[in-house]
Structure 1
Amino acid sequence: MTQFNEKLEFLSDEAGRNALLGMRRGIEREALRINACCQLAMDDHPKALGSALTHSRITTDYSEALLEFITPVAHDIDSLLTGLTETHAYSVRNLNGQKLWPVSMPCYVGKLEDIPIARYGSSNNGKLKTLYRKGLTYRYGALMQIISGVHFNFSVADELWPLLQAYSRKQGREPVGDFVSESYFGLIRNYRRLVWVLPYLFGASPALCSSFIKGQKTDLAFERTGKGTLYLPYATSLRMSDLGYTNREQESLNLSYNSLPDYLAGIQAAIHMPSAKFAEIGVKVDGEYRQLNSNILQIENEFYAPIRAKRVTRAGEKPSEALARAGVEYIEVRALDVNPFSPVGVEASQLRLLDLFLLYCLLEESPASDATEEAEIAANLRKVILEGRRPGLMLSRRGETLGLKDWLLEIFDRMTALADFLDDDTQAYHEALSVWRAAVENPAYTLSGRIHQAIVVEGKDHSDWVMTLANQYQEYFKAYPLSAEVEQGYKDEAKASLDKQQALEAADTQDFDSFLADYFKVPS
């Protein structure tokens, strides 16, 4: 019997099932604002949406045009998606006719220097956020930074940990906080081993507008439709390719996920590791900042990874400081493309599959990883990103060759055992498995396969196809039954966030140079 099956059997009573069902989730969805001609919006973040610096649910990422919608933590998937939909509906009604671009890869982009970097006001925190983004522009270019994605935040119930600790026979011998962090890092290692599953099923960027390339050198053998769309015949997620949200400068970091202390040590080393390439940019040139510093990471948020260990930070606390203080609280899944077939970029069946997938990663045995396995993980992911729908595609598992489909079917069998355990009369988890098992059997049913059908087989221009969806979703959100009470709540929070930003700016007396020096001061 595998460790996964043993743990399920150990948790098979009512207390165990309830503990497994107590999952908490949150979503962060990014979306570009576009004008009627499917071009990037160039105006400021709308005042009706509040302050991007202090609003809890509506903010911006890299650009003024790149909205980010954040849900509160929820126990129930349906209420989570309802809240996300309400945020979309309120926002769309306050965009002055602009629409949301419903795919990951950007719309038509003119001059790169015209892409508006997000602005957060005159407070030192606001200036730091804007300067960080300016540094990203100098380091990687603006195009990479306006790619959109969906992040899924996930944690299990507190009641689960004593049960798993009892199974592991560590109860009383190890502080529960250490056990939680150790367990989440086990989940992270297994997730990294299997991360290719997500672009295979949910990758939704097999094609892109040719304007995105803009003379970039690439060894990808793109094919072109008659209307100028570039695609790879079996690709799943160009967003996760070298063209997308990646950073080759970080490949030398070799961060360890074998324990929280190892991970934190690696992050600290990266934050303070000089980069000759980034030093050439300069930090403060002719009295004007270009980046926060010239290290491999300006700040730890710059570390691009398909999953992150997280803890809610206190005021003024950095993410790694929060982890060092109290351990891992939740994990953030960052390997999801925007789903163009959903108005909010993600659908319930995906979230239920993620529940099962992440629980499987948590409960399955997770040995430490080494450099050989890390190379195997990277090679598998690249294969699936670029040719995941290729018939008969083979991957590598612990040095042995295995068919992608065969491996996926094994994983689905494990997730089915979990669904048997978790489902009630609605059979929601089994229904989600049924939806996505069809994509295992036939790659045409993956998100990328459905997009390939529309763009390549049916010959629709990529921009026209996406713009049709953008128009449909704009009408959907305008007609969405947003109650007067909910709408007033958004208006109130928008005003409160603007007031909070003004208060922060008024209270800020320290000069920015001193603020930066204090921010990067190494704790004694």
Structure 2
Amino acid sequence: MKNQLIYKGNFGLERETLRVDKNGRLSQTAHPFEDDGEITRDFCENQIELVTPVCSSVDDVMKELDRLDKKVRKALDDMDERIWLYSNPPHFSDDSEIPVADFKGDLSSKRFYREKLELRYGKRLMLFSGIHFNFSFDDEYLKSISSGEDFSEFKNRFYLRLYKQLSRHSWLPLLLTAASPIHDRSLYEDGEKGGTVSRYSSIRSSEKGYWNSFVPTLKFDSLSSYVDSIQKYVNEGKLFSASELYLPIRLKPKGENSIENFANGVSHIELRMFDLNPLEPLGINADDLRFAHLLAVYLSEQPDFEYTDELQVQAVHNHRNAALLDLEGVTIDGTPILERAGQILDKMSERFSDNNEYQNVIAYEKAKLSDRICSKIINEKIYG
């Protein structure tokens, strides 16, 4: 009988959006939630980032997201502003409309950090918005499978193994949730305007999106070796801090995402590839989060492997390719990407065959693959 504790966990969301005025232009007013820990901004002042409390289910975290969303919308209505519920930014004239987040007082260091990011990456990259899904297994489950060994050590090794699996499969949830193929021409050309279709289903996850100037490769022998491999890049000046590690998956300590806080061990894992879904009132479908949860459960049971530098570079390559709008010729481990995705979903369906709710979640994702395949066939018939 399967250990039912495996489904228990902690769930949290971070949702980034931009603030726009009544004309759909980037807001130029000050951030209206200066002292609210749940409503902040990431890079720019005209951004809203909602940070939910830690919850015990996807349903609860969606309720918290809804609560925060309503609070923001009410305040913005009073300012005659709106939320821009798209991952790609609206029209803007130039970089002067993208003010760096103006953290003050004890938080001034956050502003200085963002000014350094501006010099390294430019402002426009920081306009991309999305959703980060934070998850951890319940300690009760982890203790039940730890065989009496030192729990802290076991927990750290568990999340290192899970990181490797999720990193190698990060292309799959991206493939299933990419939702930003259209962008305004001003994103790349000053003075231009009007929407255009890019070659990407998700620009922010593509080769043009949120990446370091190099591909970081990390070590996984232990948590200390993992942390040391990040610190090496900081020492070399390639990263300002652990927060600048722009990979689709992150291990996170409790509290601020700093190298020092890893001294207390891994707290949770973060999936960073979710586009804002403009067809969903809250920007995300709950079943996509349920699928991410099931994927973490499924991958946590898969055999460990050596995550070589070559495999890590390949994982980034696969992730960027999954962000393409036209997937013709894109393969994962030599198999066409849509076929490979179907194989994994079939295995997950078999794994969770005893739960109708989970079967429905997986069927929901499978239908997206069918839609992509049908679209490809139709386009081939129309355009040859």
Q: Normalising by structure 1, what TM-score?
A: 0.68
1:120 aligns with 2:103: yes
Q: State the 4+ residue runs in structure 1 displaced beyond 4 angstroms.
A: none
- Alpha-carbon separation, structure 1, partners of 2:209 and 2:184: 13
Aligned twin of 1:229: 196
Which amino acid is the alignment partner of residue 236 of structure 1?
S
Give the CA deviation at 1:67. 0.6
Deviations 1:34-91 (A, max 9, x none): 0111111011011xx342xxx2311111111111001111112222111111111111
Give the CA deviation at 1:301. 1.0
Aligned twin of 1:510: none
Relative distance call for 1:112 and 1:348 in structure 2 (3 A) is same
- Residue 386 of structure 1: SS of its match in structure 2? coil
- Residue 272 of structure 2: SS of its match in structure 1? strand
Which amino acid is the alignment partner of residue 290 of structure 2?
R
Aligned twin of 1:412: 345
Deviations 1:465-500 (A, max 9, x none): xxxxxxxxxxxxxxxxxxxxxxxxxxxxxxxxxxxx
- Alpha-carbon separation, structure 1, partners of 2:331 and 2:133: 26
1:180-219 alignment runs, 5 A limit: 180-214=155-189
- Residue 91 of structure 2: SS of its match in structure 1? coil
Partners of 1:40 and 1:109 within 8 A in 2: yes
- Residue 41 of structure 1: SS of its match in structure 2? coil
1:78 aligns with 2:56: no
- Alpha-carbon separation, structure 2, partners of 1:444 and 1:118: 42
Partners of 1:78 and 1:348 within 8 A in 2: yes
Partners of 1:360 and 1:414 within 8 A in 2: no
Give the CA deviation at 1:228. 4.4
- Residue 369 of structure 2: SS of its match in structure 1? helix
Give the CA deviation at 1:406. 2.6
- Alpha-carbon separation, structure 2, partners of 1:264 and 1:156: 21
Give the CA deviation at 1:419. 2.9
Partners of 1:25 and 1:74 within 8 A in 2: yes
Which amino acid is the alignment partner of residue 150 of structure 2?
P
Query: Percent identity at matched positions?
Result: 27
Relative distance call for 1:177 and 1:414 in structure 2 (3 A) is farther
Give the CA deviation at 1:141. 0.6
1:241 aligns with 2:206: yes
**Structure label with greater radius of gyration:** 1
My pick for the range that moved more, 75-84 or 156-165, is: 156-165
Q: 2:72 aligns with which of 83, 91, 104?
A: 91
Aligned twin of 2:317: 379
Q: 1:259 aligns with which of 222, 230, 237?
A: 222
Give the CA deviation at 1:444. 6.8
Relative distance call for 1:418 and 1:355 in structure 2 (3 A) is farther
Partners of 1:258 and 1:369 within 8 A in 2: no
Partners of 1:189 and 1:258 within 8 A in 2: no
Q: 2:89 aligns with which of 88, 106, 116?
A: 106
Give the CA deviation at 1:356. 0.8
Aligned twin of 1:467: none
- Residue 352 of structure 2: SS of its match in structure 1? helix
Relative distance call for 1:353 and 1:101 in structure 2 (3 A) is same
Relative distance call for 1:363 and 1:26 in structure 2 (3 A) is same
Q: 1:442 aligns with which of 371, 374, 378?
A: 371
Which amino acid is the alignment partner of residue 22 of structure 2?
A
Partners of 1:438 and 1:445 within 8 A in 2: no
- Alpha-carbon separation, structure 1, partners of 2:241 and 2:343: 39
Relative distance call for 1:228 and 1:75 in structure 2 (3 A) is closer
- Alpha-carbon separation, structure 2, partners of 1:122 and 1:443: 50
1:472-487 alignment runs, 5 A limit: none
Q: 1:366 aligns with which of 304, 308, 326?
A: 304
Which amino acid is the alignment partner of residue 196 of structure 2?
T
- Residue 132 of structure 2: SS of its match in structure 1? strand
Aligned twin of 1:327: 265
Aligned twin of 1:272: 235
- Alpha-carbon separation, structure 1, partners of 2:70 and 2:257: 32
- Alpha-carbon separation, structure 2, partners of 1:403 and 1:258: 32
1:39-50 alignment runs, 5 A limit: 39-46=25-32, 49-50=33-34
Partners of 2:8 and 2:137 within 8 A in 1: yes
- Residue 75 of structure 2: SS of its match in structure 1? coil
Which amino acid is the alignment partner of residue 320 of structure 1?
I
Count of paired positions: 375
- Alpha-carbon separation, structure 2, partners of 1:349 and 1:434: 10
1:105-184 alignment runs, 5 A limit: 105-123=88-106, 126-165=107-146, 171-172=147-148, 174-184=149-159
Aligned twin of 1:347: 285
Which amino acid is the alignment partner of residue 188 of structure 2?
I
Aligned twin of 1:281: none
Flag the structure with more relative contact order, 1 or 2, with Cα contacts below 8 A and sequence separation at least 6: 1
1:384-463 alignment runs, 5 A limit: 384-387=322-325, 389-391=326-328, 393-397=329-333, 401-421=334-354, 423=355, 427-443=356-372
Deviations 1:153-193 (A, max 9, x none): 0011112113333xxxxx24x41211111111111111111
- Alpha-carbon separation, structure 1, partners of 2:316 and 2:257: 28
- Residue 332 of structure 1: SS of its match in structure 2? strand
Which amino acid is the alignment partner of residue 51 of structure 2?
I
Give the CA deviation at 1:357. 0.8
1:291-302 alignment runs, 5 A limit: 295-302=237-244
Deviations 1:334-383 (A, max 9, x none): 11111111111111110111111111121111201112322322322222
- Residue 262 of structure 1: SS of its match in structure 2? helix
RMSD: 2.4
Give the CA deviation at 1:227. 5.0
Unaligned runs of 5+ in 2: none
Give the CA deviation at 1:441. 2.2
- Alpha-carbon separation, structure 1, partners of 2:45 and 2:280: 23
Aligned twin of 1:306: 248
